[in-house]
Structure 1
């Protein structure tokens, strides 16, 4: 599968300028930033990986309700103004965006959100710094065993794989993004990562690179073994 350059569209993110509260399932959340394919939220109680729910929020005459699932979640390193540590989680919309892009434009017009032009540059810089750091160290290869992979991670990977299997165009899009990002990398580690199968790279990019490629490959291999 040779990816098309046109598929390598940066994931434009919009940061929230005015407080935007809502809910994800039973959890109260505050939105940090949004994109056509997902959102980053802040919340008091932990959320497990692969948790599914409906993200809902409302501002003036704009109401949003979309099915989503948790791609990553972590406790913040710094407390808020009240001295409390909150969780931040990345949500991926588990359905077509529908008219959400138009909704984002309305929220932009209202001054609720604004385009974060630096988000992709910051992400690319962090990835490049990590790759450069790895390139200067001896490579220690570790093969994840089944006990090394949490059930939540397995469920997350399986869910992503099933979705992309059902949507060829979407799978091609995520593979293309991973392919070009790695192809344009400046370190030996990028070439090493490109050796992974296309479906593994697609899931890796779909999950915002929150799960190591080796872990995704291991889960794929385990699933293939059970189906024999």
Structure 2
């Protein structure tokens, strides 16, 4: 999707995890531990979306929200453990596009960022891979004109692969993007990937490819080699 995201989050572990997930989703990410440079970052980096933690050293996320709204037309997603209705209303009424409560699934946060991008006309929505059509907004998958019924997990995996079409994703990257954690059993990926591949191949040649020893990629059908 190629959009730029400015992330302001003081927790190093959370900052690294969010940055990795967004980078894997094809975004350019600038990550900061506080908002001391935010005006300069807005001018030089020109983000499409700004992710703001609320509880930050120095100026808090609500103060930074006001700066972003004055200086930029970027989408804004507040990310915080403060889950009171008053806090959510404060953020949304002051101009935030979304408000995500910690703890959250990484896949959900990435999906929220994509939704903000689409609402602002900056994110591609429908993805085409040969005769396969994926509509993330409507949660619809069609191949050769035939709708394909997928489970929620299969659909999330397909979207993750489609948004990185042609790139090889490791099992760890897929686990992180779909389940949000790296310590799940990698066999989860194999089981769901096998089911997803079977459903896609009921309607045409293989688009979901296994790169031995590396991972998986979604790309155009490859010619069958004769023996």
TM over 0.5: no
User: For the superposition of Structure 1 and Structure 2, which TM-score range results when normalised by the shorter chain?
Assistant: under 0.3
TM-score (norm 1): 0.28
